[in-house]
Amino acid sequence: MATTVTADAPAAAAPAKPPAAPVKQREGYAANAFAHIFLAVWGLLVTIPLIWAVIQSFKTDDEIIHDPLGLPEQWLFGAFGRAWTKGNIGEFFLNTMIVLLGSVTLTMLFGAMAAYVLARYPFRGNRAVYWMFVAGLTLPIYLGILPLFLLVQDMSKALGLEEVIGLNTHLGLILVYVAYSMPFTVFFLHAFFRTLPTTIAEAASVDGAGHVRLFFQVMMPMAKPGLISIGIFNVIGQWNQFLLPTVLMKDSDKKMLTQGLLELATNARYETDFARLFAGMTIAMLPILAVYLGFHRQVQSGLTGATLK
């Protein structure tokens, strides 16, 4: 018997079309490519001037003036010796290291203690104290420079410690650096301490650890990535500080490195020793570059630790 095909029979299925590339995936590739291009351009804008400045320190003054973009015909190292001795960069470098060692140490100690208490111990006025530290981030240093100068001058006189913590003293500048760096240090570490697990702290308390032992032996090691990160930020910020030492440190034998570089730039106009100026800039840059290159992984882990925990 012959079979008949009715008009109501379903039509043959059309061949499936290959799926188009997802729009979101293409947008992701474009955003990723733009981010890499932007970072590459930004890296070149930062790196090229640094490399150029380092190269100038190996040239003669004639080469710096007439061929600033070329390489030196002969790599000379004498400018570094002149900058270190005749330019007094060695003395300024030592003064900066003394102040930095004391200020960063005290900033990390007091900042970590304040942030830990504010993050882990609820008490009346906790948020008020925290927001007072945060408010310190909003005050431009230029607005407070005159009251700061008068405060250091008058307080040291009232205490009879003008030779210890007054103007033109290393300890006085150290205390000012500590006060200047505390708001951001507390703000950063407060968020980091809040992410640390409470179970370990509770277990240590059950085992008989007091508040001091709990902080130094349990919580501080756990917060190591955050401490390293904020420590690097404080080192860079205080190393490059110019306004505070310019106002508070007038004695020529106690000036900081940034003040010394300004003196080199001023003297270079009259002594025409531009290679010495660039050598001084190179000496000032190398320690910061070495610190960051040595700890950049810890800085990255500290910045992402609060997000990942």
pLDDT band at 302 (very low <50, low <70, confident <90, very high): low
Q: Tell me phi and psi for residue 164, to 5 degrees.
A: -110, -55
pLDDT band at 286 (very low <50, low <70, confident <90, very high): confident
pTM of the model: 0.82
Mean pLDDT of the region 204-231:
86
Is the predicted pLDDT of residue 106 greater than 80, yes or no? Answer: yes
Mean pLDDT of the region 165-181:
93
Q: Which of 287, 286, 271 is nearest to 82 (CA)?
A: 271
Mean pLDDT of the region 208-218:
85
Q: Which alpha helices (H) appear in the chain, and where do they start and end?
A: 23-56, 61-66, 78-84, 89-120, 126-135, 141-159, 162-165, 170-195, 198-206, 211-214, 220-222, 224-239, 243-248, 257-271, 274-308
Q: Are 248 and 176 in contact (CB under 8 A)?
A: yes
Mean pLDDT of the region 135-163:
89
pLDDT digits (tens, 9 = 90+) for 246-284: 999 988 888 999 998 888 888 777 777 888 889 999 999
* Identity of the highest mean pLDDT range in 129-133, 247-251, 286-290: 129-133
pLDDT band at 15 (very low <50, low <70, confident <90, very high): low
Q: Cα–Cα distance between 167 and 176 in angstroms, integer? A: 11
Q: What is the pLDDT of residue 133?
A: 92
Mean pLDDT of the region 226-255:
90
Q: What is the pLDDT of residue 27?
A: 65
Q: Cα–Cα distance between 35 and 29 in angstroms, integer? A: 10
Is the predicted pLDDT of residue 306 greater than 60, yes or no? Answer: no
Mean pLDDT of the region 228-246:
91
Q: Cα–Cα distance between 83 and 257 in angstroms, integer? A: 12
pLDDT digits (tens, 9 = 90+) for 16-75: 555 555 656 666 677 788 888 988 998 899 889 889 999 999 999 889 888 888 889 889
Q: Tell me phi and psi for residue 181, to 5 degrees.
A: -95, -10
Mean pLDDT over all residues of the chain?
84
Is the predicted pLDDT of residue 150 greater than 50, yes or no? Answer: yes
Q: What is the pLDDT of residue 307?
A: 47
Q: What is the pLDDT of residue 99?
A: 95
Mean pLDDT of the region 194-211:
83
Q: Cα–Cα distance between 94 and 84 in angstroms, integer? A: 11
pLDDT band at 1 (very low <50, low <70, confident <90, very high): very low
Q: Which of 100, 101, 105, 99 is nearest to 227 (CA)?
A: 105
Q: What is the pLDDT of residue 24?
A: 62
Mean pLDDT of the region 113-119:
93
Percent of the chain topping pLDDT 90: 37
**Environment class of residue 12 by beta-carbon count within 10 Å: exposed (0-12), middle (13-18) or buried (19+)?**
exposed
Mean pLDDT of the region 223-235:
89
